[in-house]
Amino acid sequence: MADPKNITTLKIGLAGFGNVGAGVYKNLLKNKDLLSERIGRELVIHRIVVRNPDKPRDVDLPADIVSTNLDDLIEDDEIDIVVELIGGTDQAFDLVKSALESGKTVVTGNKALLAEHGKELFAIADREKTPIYFEAAVAGGIPIIKTVQESLVGNSIESMAGIINGTSNYILGRMSDAGLDYQEALNEAQQLGYAEADPALDVNGWDAAHKAIILASLSYGSWMRSEDIYVEGIEKISLPDIQVARDLGYVIKLLAIIRLDSESGNIEVRVQPSLIPKSHILASVNGVFNAIFVRGDIVGETLFYGSGAGQDPTSSSVISDLADAAAHLNGAAASRTGFVPHGLYGQPLPVDVSISEYYLRLGVDDQPGVVAKIAGILGEHQIGISSMIQPEEHSEGTASIFLMLYLAPFGTMKKAVAEIAKLDCIQDEPVLMRVESL
């Protein structure tokens, strides 16, 4: 236990006082004594920058520490650590860059910032010998960043498969459990506060993609670009997809796949809604929870599960980073910028050469010869049909066909589906999803 007489103050400048910022402030006060004993420094919020100081808040703030000017965090020499929780990329980039160049340690939970500008920011951090900590940027309260950087440092990461967007997971779960259609499930998620008024980044896959970029870059030592990864969301998934997948022994999850291709040494990174077997442990991850299934060459298979968002889980990760920053500033931890390049692996794997089995839903004219035309195109592309379902209940003149397809390269599969979509007998846009064996 630290001697109270020897405990010195570590002053924090907090940018942003939304849900997570309020949680950081509240929980630092709540566990003030515990943290001081554990890390040997007293963590004090010295200044808070907010957009609107008059906005009603659940947490009372001392007026003398509130500001509306981000520059105050840089110009105040008493501030040791800048915590960036304002979101977005432009203002956040300017703030983090300025903080690093001023010699101030940075803690951020901004996944979009790191996905888009991480390479540049970590180069600045390395040049200035000033670290960035970013545990809260991926999977809320799950300590996956520290795990990859520290606990699995002796492993070559063979693969990761993650449910890392709680909003999409909640929507898909409600479609499965309650029989809601997509829009009904999304509306419910918004009413409960699990989805934003504009849910685009959650449902179109890019929230998960930003996190996948960070995880892939840490795992393989080469900063991934957003244009190098393939991203699909859950907007096209319908209740019949959920029901047919369930009947076939699968559940549908929005998965982030990060995988080292053993033959080429290239890195596969993609986010797509996928069918996974009900027997797999990720299939039982429900609600807004996250889980990341990691396979290392030494440790084998590991699973990390917990709350992927929310005030307390995310603020827990921010406070963990503050404790690490305190240890570094105390001289008890080696200096690290937060990202260590290690050029042992190749380039991003083109998504078109990645191979899997597939699920395909087609809305077609209810007439003879349709299946033969579809099977003919698939056969021309050397894609085999493992099973087909055509429900008896259908609207007059229309029918739905559900196909399970054998292994094929994704590029070949897309070409075949594009040709099928041009057939006169196809009424709706085809829905294609991968079937992941994991």
Residues designated catalytic: 211
Collapsing DSSP to helix, strand or coil, 5 comes out as helix
Question: Measured between alpha carbons, how far is 313 from 292 in angstroms, rounded to an integer?
Answer: 16
**Residue carrying the six token digits 């033969």:** 372
Task: Check residue 94 and report its DSSP letter.
Answer: H
Other beta carbons less than 10 A from residue 402's beta carbon: 21
DSSP state of 151: I
What are the φ/ψ torsions at residue 84 (nearest 5 degrees)?
Answer: -100, 115
Helix (H) or strand (E) holding 162: strand 157-163
Query: 205, 164 in Cβ contact below 8 A?
Result: no
Q: How buried is 77 (Cβ within 10 angstroms: 0-12 exposed, 13-18 middle, 19+ buried)?
A: exposed
The DSSP bridge partners found for residue 110 are: none
Q: Name all contacts of 50-55 with Cβ < 8 Å and 24+ positions apart.
A: 50/16, 50/17
Q: How far apart are the first and last CA of the chain?
A: 45
The rounded distance, in Å, linking the Cα atoms of 164 and 131 is: 25
What Rg do the C-alpha atoms of the chain give, in angstroms?
A: 24
Which of the 8 DSSP states describes residue 281? G
- From CA 215, how far away is CA 211, in angstroms rounded? 6
107 phi, psi to nearest 5 deg: -120, 130
> What Å distances lie between residue 293 and 75, 184, 347, CA to CA?
43, 30, 23
3-state helix, strand, coil in the chain (%, to 5): 40, 25, 35
- CA neighbor of 171 nearest in space, from 230, 244, 258, 236: 236
Q: Which amino acid is at 286?
A: N
Which ranges of 280-310 does DSSP label H, i.e. alpha helix? none
